[in-house]
Amino acid sequence: MATKDARVADLQKKFEESTAVLLTEYRGLTVGQLRELRTNIRENATYAVAKNTLTKIAANNAGITAFDDELVGPSAIAFVHGDPVAVAKGLRDFAKANPLLVIKGGYFDGKPLTAAEVGKLADLESREVLLGKLAGAFKASLFGAAYLFNAPLAQAARGFGALRDKQESAN
Each residue of 142-171: pLDDT tens digit? Answer: 666 666 666 677 676 777 777 787 787 876
Do both 19 and 44 map to the same domain? yes
Instruction: Report the b/e string of 78-108 with b at 16+ CB within 10 A.
Output: bbbeebbbbbbbbbbebbeebeebbbbbbbb
What pLDDT sits at residue 19? Answer: 86
Q: Are residues 78 and 141 located together in one domain of the fold?
A: no
CATH code, domain carrying 101: 3.30.70.1730
pLDDT at 148: 67
| Percent of the chain residues topping a pLDDT of 90 | 1
66 with 84, same domain: the answer is yes
Domain identity same for 41 and 52: yes
CB atoms within 10 A of CB 116: 10
Give me the residues of the chain with pLDDT under 50, please. none
pTM: 0.68
On whether both 24 and 54 belong to a single domain, the answer is yes
Range of the domain at 154: 126-171
- Predicted confidence at residue 126, as pLDDT, reads 63
Q: 169 and 97, same structural domain?
A: no
